[in-house]
Amino acid sequence: MISLSVNGEARKLEVDPATPLLWVLRDTLGLTGTKYSCGIAVCGSCTVHVDGTPVRACVTPLSAVANKSITTIEGLSKDSSHPVQRAWLALDVPQCGYCQSGQIMTAVALLAKNPKPTDADIDQAMSGVLCRCGTYSRIRRAIKQAAELQSKGGAT
């Protein structure tokens, strides 16, 4: 039995503790917003927050997050009102959309730590999250817009 909090809800899970968090979220808890793409922590599509820090859920065993607090894309806001989501909407960032949960969760973590990121900061934080559709220019712009929104008190 492993206890953890997922999007603010306490969970007790009878799952093999070696199971990657990604598959616990998707298959056990039905939270399919977090995506599988590479399975080896090189693409970032599965990024979630563990106690506020972005981690690659595809290589994080459930045992490593016992008693920790997980936030997934579904838990970011109830109504897509997080400044990052609002900026993503305003700039129509996604194309196919598959990598976007990972992009958004990584961007949220960046802005939480660094409310006014420079281009170099954005490069460093975001370059490990791959997008095959080429939404990178919009991601960069949206992060800057989200930073603006956040500074105006839009943080959730």
Partner 1 sequence: MNDLTAPECINESRRHFLKIGAVAGGGLLIGFHLPLASRAGEAEAAASEFVPNAWIRIDTDDSVTLRVASSEMGQGVYTAIPMLLAEELECDWARIKVEMAPADKAYTNPLIGQQLTGGSTAVRAFWTPLRQAGATGRDLLIRAAAQTWKVKEDECRAENGVVVHKTSQRKARYGELAALAATLPVPSEVFLKEPGEFKLIGKSTPRLDTPRKVNGSAVFGMDVKLPGLLTAVVARCPVFGGKPRKFDATKAKSIAGVRQVLAIQSGIAVVADNFWAAKQGRDALVLEWDEGANAKQNSTGIRKQLEDALKKKTVSARHEGDTAKAFKAAAKRIEAVYEVPYLAHACMEPMNCTALVKPDSCELWVPTQGQTGAQLVASKITGLPPEKVKVNTTFLGGGFGRRGEQDFVAEAVELAKATSAPVKLIWTREDDMQHDYYRPATLNRLSAALDKQGLPIAWQHEIAGASIFARVFPNSIKDGIDRTSVEGAANLPYAIPNLQVTWSMDNGAVPVGFWRSVGSTQNAYVTECFLDELAAAAGKDPYAFRRTLLAKHPRHLGVLELAAQKAGWGNSLPSGRARGIAVAESFGSYCAQVADVSVERGQVRVQRVVCAIDCGMVVNPDTIVAQMESGIVYGLTAALKGEITIQDGRVVQSNFHDYPLLRLDEMPEIEVHIVKSSEHPGGVGEPGTPPIAPAVANAVFAATGKPVRRLPIRV
Expressed in angstroms, the distance from the first to the final Cα of the chain is: 32
Q: What does the binding site for partner 1 look like in residue numbers (CB under 8 A)?
A: 16, 19-20, 23, 26-28, 30-40, 42-43, 45, 72-74, 76-77, 80, 85, 88-89, 92-101, 104, 122-124, 126-140
Least distance from partner 1 to the Cβ atom of residue 23, Å: 4
Least distance from partner 1 to the Cβ atom of residue 75, Å: 9
**Residue 68 or residue 74: which is nearer to partner 1 going by CB?**
74
Kindly report the number of other CB atoms within 10 A of residue 119's CB atom: 10
One-letter amino acid at 13 equals: L
Give the separation between CA 23 and CA 72, rounded to whole angstroms: 13
> Can you give 62-88 as a three-state secondary structure string?
HHHHCCCEEECHHHCCCCCCCHHHHHH
**Residue 50 or residue 136: which is nearer to partner 1 going by CB?**
136
**Residue 5 or residue 19: which is nearer to partner 1 going by CB?**
19
